Every structure is written in C-alpha cells, then in structure tokens.
Amino acid sequence: MARNITPRADDYSQWYLDIIKAAELADYAPVRGCMVIRPTGYSLWESIQHHFDEAFKETGHVNAYFPLLIPNSFLEKEAEHVEGFAPECAVVTHAGGEKLEEPLVVRPTSETVIGHMYSKWIQSWRDLPILINQWANVMRWEKRPRLFLRTSEFLWQEGHTAHSTREEAMEETLKMLGVYARIMRDILALPVVEGEKTEGERFPGADNTYACETMMSDGKALQAGTSHFLGQNFARAFDIKFQNQNGDIEYAWTTSWGVSTRLIGAIIMTHSDDDGLVLPPRVAPVKAAILPISTNEEKIASTLLPRAMELSSELDRSLGGRCTMVDKQFYLRPGDRFFQHLQRGVPLRVELGEKDLAAGTARVVRRDSGEKMDIPLENLASRVPALLEDIQSGLFNRALAFRRKNTAVVTTYDEMKKVLEEKGGFVETWFAGSKDDEKKIKEETGATARCMPIDSPGEGTCFFTGKPGARKVIFAKAY
Amino acid sequence: MARNITPRADDYSQWYLDIIKAAELADYAPVRGCMVIRPTGYSLWESIQHHFDEAFKETGHVNAYFPLLIPNSFLEKEAEHVEGFAPECAVVTHAGGEKLEEPLVVRPTSETVIGHMYSKWIQSWRDLPILINQWANVMRWEKRPRLFLRTSEFLWQEGHTAHSTREEAMEETLKMLGVYARIMRDILALPVVEGEKTEGERFPGADNTYACETMMSDGKALQAGTSHFLGQNFARAFDIKFQNQNGDIEYAWTTSWGVSTRLIGAIIMTHSDDDGLVLPPRVAPVKAAILPISTNEEKIASTLLPRAMELSSELDRSLGGRCTMVDKQFYLRPGDRFFQHLQRGVPLRVELGEKDLAAGTARVVRRDSGEKMDIPLENLASRVPALLEDIQSGLFNRALAFRRKNTAVVTTYDEMKKVLEEKGGFVETWFAGSKDDEKKIKEETGATARCMPIDSPGEGTCFFTGKPGARKVIFAKAY
C-alpha cells in the first residue's frame, strides 16, 4: 500500500525521511542543517510540549525566558563546557551595522547565561530552590544533519535549577529523569531505560548525567532526554552564592535537564511502519479522523456532513478535548483520503458512507493493526476511548517486546563484537573501563556506552578490563 | 505605600522600570539590549499567548516553525524590505568553527524565509489558502533599548498567509486586525483604535499596514499589533505561484500580522499605578492570592492553611482553571506579603486570619481600588467571579475615558502643535500629506501619524496641505 515510502527493510534511513515527507512533518530549510517544522509536525510538538509542561508545573517549576545570544567569554568560564560546545557554535560578529566588540554565540544551551542571572537573583537560602524551565530554540552546528535527530537549530526545553544542598540537587536531577521517563512511557509509548551516563558520555561541565535511552526499530539506541547533576561547577564559574541558615556563604548546587524535537524522531522510529507514521493516541494531536464519503453533494450537505460533525463533537466530549477532525476533502478519491490519514499516523479512521448511515453504523479502522470494525453510531463515543487505549498499550508493549528481544547479555568483548555485528540492538554487560577504553570500544565496534541502568544494582567483572566491581552498562550503536 | 517605585508624576520612565523591577517581570540581560523575562513576566506572556493562540486556531490557523537564520540574499530580494530591516540585523558570519560562505541574519521577521518555503508548497489553487502562524523569538538591534517596548530580542507571533485572490488576502488582513482588537479590548482591557497606517508608517514591503493603536497613561501612543496586506510583493520576490481553476499561473496574495512581548509594556503603562503593576483579571495568571495569616504555627497547620487550600480549589473550580494561589511565606511579615501581591498586580487579595476564620469570613481586597470587603467564606466562590469581572470592566472603562479625555480634534497645524506641547495625547485631524510631510511633522512636533481609524469614514480638509478629500488621522508621540 505504501506508494511513496521506501520499505524499512530496504533502506532504513530513506524510510525515515520518506515517513517525514509523506506525513508533512518537516522540510529542510534553505540554511544547511536547519529545518522547517510543518503544521502536522508542529502540532505533534505542541502535544508533546503540553504533557511535559504540565508535569513541570505540577512539580513546582515555572517558565521563564533567557536571551538567545551569549557572550563568548561566558562559555569560557567553565573549562569542560567551552571545550564541548565551542566547536558547534554559530557566532554573531556584526549587529546593527557594526562589528561587535565581543562575538556573541547563539545559545547551544543556556547554563552559562542562566548561571550569570542566578548569581544576581540568589543571595540567601530563602531564595532557593530556584526551579525554572525555558522553552526555546538552540543551535549546534551539524556537519551531518538529519531531520529531528540532528539539526543545527532545534526546539527544546531546558530546566535549570539551583539548590542549597547537594542532596536536594541530586534529588531534583533524578526526579526530572523520572518525570521524563514517565511521560515517555505513558504518553509517547517509548519503553525507555533510565540510566546514568559513563564518564565518556557526560554533559560537558556535569558531575553526573542521567538519560532516558530507547531503542529504535533498527536496533539502534536513541538518547531521548538527559538530566544533569552539575554539582557546584557552574556555581563556581558564575559565582552563584548564598548565605545559609548559619550565616555562612556557600556555593549553590545546580542541575539542568532537557528534551527536544528529537523526541519526534524517536516516536517515528519506534512506532511507524512501511505505510507511514504511526502515532500513540495519547500524543496524537488528531486521535480520530471522521470521513463522510459520498459522491452525492446533496447527501453530503444534508445528512453525511452534519452527522459527521455531530460525531466529532461527541467524540471530543468523550475524549475531553478537541482531538478529532472531519475530513472535508471531497474533491479527493476516498482512497487518497484514507491514505493521507494513514500516512499521518492518525490512530483511528472513522468512515461514514451512505450505506453506513443507513445501517446506523460507522466503519472504524485502526491505524496500528488495520483492523476494521462496524460500530453502531450511538456506541461510538463510548467505544472509541477504550479502542485508543488499546492502541496505546499495544504500541508500548510491542516496542518493549522488541527491545527485550534485541537485548543481549554478554560477558566478553568477543561476544559483544559478534552481537553488534550480527544483529545489533542493546548489549548488556559489566563495565569498569576508562574514558579511553570507551573511545577504543567505539572505534572498534561503533557502539557507545549508552547508560548504566539505575534499576540494575549489583556488581560484576568488567568485560573489557577484567576488573571486579564493575557496573551494569548497556552498549549500543546510537543516533 | 510605594516603597521602591518612583511616582509616575515625577518620572514616567523610571516609574515604568520600577514597576517591572518590583513585580519581577524582567531584567536586562548581559548582552546589551536583550532581556530576561522572569517567571512572573513569562507567566503573563503565557496567558497572553493562550488567548491569541486560541483565537488563531478558532479562525482556522495552524502553527509551524521556520528557521532562525535567514540567508542575507533572501532579504535583498524585496527592495523595501531589505532597506527597512538590514540596518537592524544581527549577523552570523561563523559557524561550526568555520567562516560561512554567505552571512546569515538572525530573523528580524520571517516573510522572506516563509515565502521561500511557500513557493515550494504551493502549486495549485487547492493548496490555498495557507494559514500559518509561528511563535518565535526575533532580533532587531536596538540602540536605545527599553524593557518589553524595544529590546534587541523579543518574543512574538507572526502569522503568514497566502491566498488566491486579492479580496481574500485583504479580508484576512482585516480579520486578524479584528481578532487582535477584540482580544486587546476584552482580555487585556486596552481600548485600542483600529486603523490603517499612512504611507510613511507602513511595514517595509507591504501595500497596506493596519494597526491597533493604544494610549499609555502618559498620553503617548503605543502600536500594540499590526496586520499587513503584502499584495503580491513577496509572491513576486519569492516566486509563490499557483495554477488557478482555469489552468492559468498566478502569483499568490500574502499577508502577515504580529503581536509581541511589547503587549506587556502596553498593559503596564495602561493600568498600573504608583503602588505597582495592575493586571486585568482575564489576563492575570494569578487572579486571586489567598493569604493565611497567623503567627501561631500550629493554627496555621491545623486550620488556616488547610482552609486556604480548600478555598483555592473552590475558587479555581468556579473560575474554571488553576488561577489562584496560596501564599505560604509565613517567614515574611503580613505587610510584606500584601505588598508583594500588590506590586505584582494580583487582582484580588484574600486574607484569612484567625479572627476571620472565627467569624466565618475572609477579607477580600481589590487591587484596582484598594476596597476591602469581608465576605462569608461560603459565598466566596460565587462572589469572586463577579468581582473580577467588575475589575476587568472598570480598568477598560477607565482607560477608555482617559483616552477620550486626552484626544483633541484639531483642524490647523498651530492647534496641533499647541495640543502636543501643552498636554500631549492623541490629536485627531484630517490629513492628505505625503511621506515627506509626515517626516517634517515628526521633526517639528515629535508626533507621527499613528493611524487612519477604520471606523472613521468621511473626508475633510488636510490640516497640513489644505488639500480636500483628506482622511481622518490620529497623530501622537509614540513609543
């Protein structure tokens, strides 16, 4: 049925791009590496934003906005940070018709400028914690761009918090990791693994980085979100100090955490099939498309369209929000209309033809399985919510089963190489190597340490160094 | 009572900045001319966004996202456009560690890059209209920055639509002007005048510009939003063509329209007083602050705080959303807590002390008038919505009366000069002068043609040239 989508088995990369094109999610922009997020893609982003933003607010965070441009000298204040980000920066050298005294970088992330402001706002322990989030665009110049996964400009949220104690900052770091994991699992149907990053994969300037790692349908890993414990590194660099309850001056403890439009890439590569995009209902902006179908214009106007509009309102009410649409593209053939919603990943298609209406039913088609059902019109509003939930849990369970099937446990480097060569996927093992060891493994196998799962305590023997007391680590090739 | 706010009568500019500082709305950023929107200010922006975004969606618009960086050559494709914006642009010359082949400007507005994309997306009359809006940051380098009113970076929305006929594009231009005016009046309580801009005040590249003009409490005008009829100018520059129903190729007709964080400046300068910010209830993120007051910690924990939380939930339910808060800053003196909410413009303060609770009442204080009422707790949820509506309409009516009082009708240049010198405000007159005449008037009086009100038909004799057939024009000094 896929008329313009390369089969996944033939060329995974092309399949991914074809899905995006067919669903009209995004386009490359005229500036190399940048993207245009088209209305279908942006409404998906708005839905993702909505769920995360609610969760941030429920956990006591507030939104704010910090400037796009950051003085170059700010980046240099934190040694690891500048080393990590400077090579990727876009730099403004002229403005208002003049050369600037100091070049300004377009923010690649905002720890530095936010740290600068926090140092002004924080004086006393009473000013803490500061729990701020920002929704913004950021820029990291990409040599090999890929829509949603690696673009020179992308949209994201970045949380930045400051605390009076190490414990509280660590608690925040893990709390937000948990918030991310919950939404990714419950709403985006991504069976993520929560874990700590190894030294070689940490955020530049962080003491610890935690991440949600998830497996794409080609077995490769994708980092879907990160939460950083920054210790006192940025507080020292930007002089974020406060007077504690005993009257002593201390440096604050800070965290940062972010998810981006990359999540759209994760959704595509987890759930979609050779017919196009498949969206988990809870994040789908349009959960059901209702299609009155007839060639008789009078019938459409007098009965089919009004009944379709009614059904749409009923469904919106039973689902609690505007999340259905009535397709009025009568100038297209029914097959083309079906196909459009299929390619855009709409979870349910509700067809309403003259015969259906005469029989008092609608033909409901599931996007995930293609299953067709004739459902009495009066039962539609009560049946659809459960159908959507069934699709939602089905997608999650399928992705989880896929990850489990494609996760191998190994104890030696030879085993690891064999698995990575022959079938890919996640490789679970014990590891106690250094940053250099990680580099070597990457060079030799293409795989990186994705994370040390937080729910896997215990110790083993390192597959690479033979050292005892090694932690459980997942290795995989990654996006 | 204003402890840290310069009286408005002493120094209007300083009063404005003091209000922003006291309410913690925004701060200057380390990069000259840029601002940090603090949580209190950003939640106000989120509320403004919410109302506009809803209205855009109700009128059939969808959101999308276009790139931040625009090739310099794009700006040059439309002669007036580049002349208007190039001097204000920030320019990226280096990225990813290399000098770019072509400099990229940080978008000052997005007609050019959106026009480029529309030329790819539009082929047939079936692809029209395209009704897209974008929420984004833009950059126009400011020599004399002023928080919210003129900052080098600001947040805004920009609508960009393409149509198959001149009539439809003009209808869209005026429809969105009307949407703006309705929200500004009904939600922001700004009594705006809808009008057409004179030639000298048009958007660079537009055939016509329409604006909502509103009067600040110092009598100066502020342009609160604009809607542009772009004719076929950008369609020609970017080759946006379509095949019409007869099979002929035509250029599309486009519009653009925008409102920005400047609206926050308009709200401040319309409604606030010497005690601080005053917010119209419909746009206030916090509509009522509930303050349990006692020095007895046990009483707070056992009765006052739980009852306050209950009241907050009841009020949220009766107002339809999370829009009340319970103030738990027990470490502050009650006076300081009152003062904080006063300065932040919270429409109603609900004080709940031990005596109030014993009497079964709460003390409710209006931000607009300072009026205090003891309201039985069981009536609070039913009384508050009406109280808020009374504040809302009171603020609008006061602003409207102020504008009327400060609008003078003149027929000669001498009269105009006299009014502008002696009392300022809006000057209504007949005008048929040229762009050069407008320039001369500005040089001599400091006033500009704000707009030709759309509800003022008729013709008169031009006060400046003596020509007949002149249109009604409002002149004023403006922000």
**Does A29 contact B117 at a Cβ distance shorter than 8 Å?**
yes
Chain A closest-CA separation from residue B71 CA (Å) = 7
User: Residue A1: what pLDDT?
Assistant: 46
The answer to whether B59 touches B179, Cβ cutoff 8 Å, is yes
**Does B113 contact A63 at a Cβ distance shorter than 8 Å?**
no
Chain B residue numbers with beta carbons less than 8 Å from the beta carbon of A92 are 90-93, 106
Residue B182, φ and ψ in degrees, nearest 5: -65, -45
Q: Which residue of B has its CA nearest to A143?
A: B96
Chain A residue numbers with beta carbons less than 8 Å from the beta carbon of B86 are 97
Indicate the CATH number for domain B288-387: 3.40.50.800
Both tokens of residue B154?
């600001």
Residue-wise burial string across A440-476, b where 16 or more C-beta atoms lie within 10 A, e elsewhere:
ebbeebebbbbbbbbeeeeebebbbeeeeebbbbbbb
Indicate the CATH number for domain A407-476: 3.30.110.30
How many Cβ atoms from other residues are within 10 Å of residue A436's Cβ? Answer: 9
User: Residue B1: what pLDDT?
Assistant: 46
B12-271, CATH topology level: BirA Bifunctional Protein; domain 2 (3.30.930)
CA distance B44 to A62: 12
Q: Using 70 as the pLDDT threshold, list the residues of chain A that sit under it.
A: 1-3
A364 CB-contact burial (10 Å; exposed 0-12 / middle 13-18 / buried 19+): buried
Chain A residue numbers with beta carbons less than 8 Å from the beta carbon of B92 are 90-93, 106
- Interface subset of B 32-51, CB within 8 angstroms of A: 34-39, 41-43, 45-46
**Does B141 contact A66 at a Cβ distance shorter than 8 Å?**
no
Q: Which residue from A91, A113, A120 is facing B93, i.e. has the nearest CB?
A: A91
Find residue B319's DSSP bridge partners.
Answer: none
Q: Using 70 as the pLDDT threshold, list the residues of chain B that sit under it.
A: 1-3
A288-383, CATH topology level: Rossmann fold (3.40.50)
Could you give the 3-state DSSP secondary structure of residue A365? strand
Count CB pairs under 8 A between chains A and B. 159
In 3D space, the residue among A298, A259, A282, A478 whose CA is nearest the CA of residue A389 turns out to be A282
Q: Which residue of A has its CA nearest to B63?
A: A39
CA distance B78 to B415: 40
Chain B residue numbers with beta carbons less than 8 Å from the beta carbon of A88 are 96
The answer to whether B152 touches B90, Cβ cutoff 8 Å, is yes
- Interface subset of A 319-358, CB within 8 angstroms of B: 331
Segment B206-263, tens digit of pLDDT: 999 999 999 999 999 999 999 999 999 999 999 999 999 999 999 999 999 999 999 9
CA distance B120 to B127: 11
The answer to whether B115 touches B238, Cβ cutoff 8 Å, is yes
Mutate to test the interface with A, among B36, B47, B63, B124 (most CBs of A within 10 A): B36
In 3D space, the residue among B114, B80, B89 whose CA is nearest the CA of residue B205 turns out to be B80
Q: So where are chain B's domains?
A: 12-271, 288-387, 407-476
User: Residue B80: what pLDDT?
Assistant: 87
**Does A36 contact B65 at a Cβ distance shorter than 8 Å?**
yes
